[in-house]
Amino acid sequence: MSPESPSPGSVRSAAEVNEQIRALWLRAGGTLSAQERTEYELLVVEWAEAIRVRVVEAA
């Protein structure tokens, strides 16, 4: 996990994580290296968790 990753238990907003995903793709120029792919996968998992938390809070 990258040094910018949140500590376990903390959840950034879906918008924050989405912005990081967009920035990653922009930096990568549309093609991810193996390391970037790993970072992307971690970000997608974090984004999904942020969405889940938001839905649960809204319920």
Residue 5 belongs to a domain: no
Task: Evaluate the CA torsion angle 40, 41, 42, 47 in order and state its sign.
Answer: positive
Residue 9 lies in a domain: no
Both structure tokens of 38? 């790993």
Side-chain half-sphere exposure of 16, counting CA atoms within 13 A: 10
Please give the Cα distance from 29 to 50 (Å, whole number): 26
pLDDT at 13: 93
- Number of domains making up the chain: 1
3 within domain boundaries: no
Q: What is the pLDDT along the chain (59 residues), one digit of tens a residue?
A: 444 544 455 578 999 999 999 999 999 999 999 999 999 999 999 999 999 988 887 87
Predicted confidence at residue 10, as pLDDT, reads 56
Specify if 29 maps to a domain: yes
Give the domain range for residue 24: 14-58
Residue matched to tokens 């950034």: 12
Q: Which amino acid is located at 56 in the chain?
A: V
pLDDT at 45: 97
